[in-house]
Amino acid sequence: MKFHSFRGGVHPPHAKNTENCATIPLGVPSKVVIPMVQHIGAPCRPLVKKGDTVKVGQVIGDTDAYVSAPVHSSVSGTVTAVEDRIITGSRPVTCVEIVPDGLQEVSGDVAPPVVETREDFLKAVRASGLTGLGGAGFPAHVKLNPPKEANVDTLIINAAECEPYITSDCRECIENTDYIIKGIRHVLKWTGIPRAFIGIEDNKPEAIKILEDAVKPYSDITVCVVKTIYPQGAEKMLIRTLTGREVAPGKLPADAGCIVMNVGSVSFLGRYMENGMPLIKKRITVDGESVKTPTNVEVLIGTPIQEVFDFCGGFSEEPAKLIMGGPMMGVALYSLDIPVLKHTNALLAFSKEQVKLTEETSCIRCGRCVEVCPMGLLPFELDRLIRAKSYEDAQKNNLMDCMECGSCVFACPAKRLIVQSIRLGKDALRRASAK
Ligand code: SF4
Ligand code: SF4
């Protein structure tokens, strides 16, 4: 199969320290905190109140909005709070706090879905609470239901995992290969898409071998081993690499005839179609020089990250920076009381020594950020305009096309905090348009 290339990109150290660490279940934490919005789209309305008892897999939040996904309890126990809290952004979100009873009694509503039509399938996907597990959190039932005129002919399974440190998708490929194949078969069958490509970077030889063996009986599934270059796993880049098609600014993968799903998402679907257990747990990579025992952990959604780090032996030294996600695109955390969310794929704790490397100095106009930007933007100029609060000028310079991949920051000798600036600029524009 012929692959294409995309412009720009960088080569950060892989640091896939945990690629051989089999996933260990963390078990039931002391409490879970489950936000009513863990996805792109409308927030859910809590369906429980303080004092209620809940069971595993019970729906505790939902909405009539189409672009949304229900949230489920990951434990059995008692609701101890329903209140607004700050999680990862600056705005409070409504959260349900549950103290587990340790019994993990499963809700009577949990049963394998009965699927006889495409509509049944989409309904089941929505009921599962699945949102993109690769980081963006887009509701899966919306993604799998593109407009008819889109003419989607390719399902792309994203197993590229191009961010340094993260190995949770790699472990998914090794540990849950059968469910990945089952999930792909369900999606192809019920959406009518004729072929699937599994995109995986060439730095994962064990996972590649296992996947290649697993797809042998299926002529409509191809494992595509692609070059390791960041951000190969970004939707638009992977589509370009595997099909040669471009997703125009402001357009969706479906406009280029593709649907892209994270490998963990299809694996979850493969299992969900068998047992009906909604999305209540997540595999995450825990790493960074401050973590005593880096590994991959299976965590119930809502588990405080403090308990995840404790499970990994705690910190060898006080971390100077905590990140949810990868070092390139992740979100900095300011508290250990933040819960694991549906789309959390990694928790990283970096030492003072590592963080020192990222202290910024003045821009020297070297242009390296421009060379590596896969979206063809002028990152240094966006940074300058946003710092000067010229948000509309930044918009005219295609600010909204930035996918926040961090390649510019990685390449910048002055370590300018360009992505931070870009996020501020986007937020300012969104707030202005909401007025
Ligand atoms: S400007 Fe945006 S898209 Fe371009 S390299 Fe920087 S973060 Fe990535
Ligand atoms: S790479 Fe950094 S120093 Fe060079 S032009 Fe871009 S922002 Fe300025």
Give bridge partners of residue 350 from the DSSP assignment. 321
Ligand 1 pocket residue status of 406, Cβ below 6 Å: yes
CA–CA distance, 290 with 297 (Å, rounded to integer): 17
Mean pLDDT of the chain: 94
Each residue's pLDDT tens digit, 130-180: 998 876 788 999 999 998 888 999 999 999 999 999 999 999 999 999 999
Is 202 contained in some domain?
A: yes
Q: Which residue range is the domain that position 384 belongs to?
A: 368-434
Domain boundary among 224, 246, 275: 275
Q: Is the peptide bond before 278 cis (omega within 30 degrees of 0)?
A: no
The preferred substitution site among 236, 418, 426 for testing ligand 1, maximizing ligand atoms within 8 Å of CB, is: 418
E strands along 227-267, which residues? 258-262
Q: Which residues line ligand 2 (CB under 6 A)?
A: 363-369, 379-380, 411-414, 416
* Sheet with 32-35, edge to edge strand ranges: 32-35, 92-100, 77-86, 53-54
Ligand 1 atom closest to the Cα of residue 382 is: 1
* Distance from residue 406's CA to the centre of ligand 2 (Å): 13
Structural domains counted in the chain? 2
Helix axes 263-275, 118-128, angle to 10 degrees: 100
191: closest CA among 246, 154, 236? 154
Domain boundary among 245, 260, 275: 275
**Amino acid identity of 50?**
K
Is 122 contained in some domain?
A: yes
DSSP string covering 168-211: HHHHHHHH-HHHHHHHHHHHHHHH---EEEEEEETT-HHHHHHH
Domain boundary among 251, 275, 299: 275
Ligand 1 pocket residue status of 101, Cβ below 6 Å: no
Is 80 contained in some domain?
A: no
Asked whether residue 235 falls in the same domain as residue 383, the answer is no
Asked whether residue 140 falls in the same domain as residue 253, the answer is yes
Asked whether residue 259 falls in the same domain as residue 386, the answer is no
pLDDT score of 135: 67
Each residue's pLDDT tens digit, 25-66: 999 999 999 999 988 889 999 999 999 999 999 999 999 999
pLDDT score of 174: 98
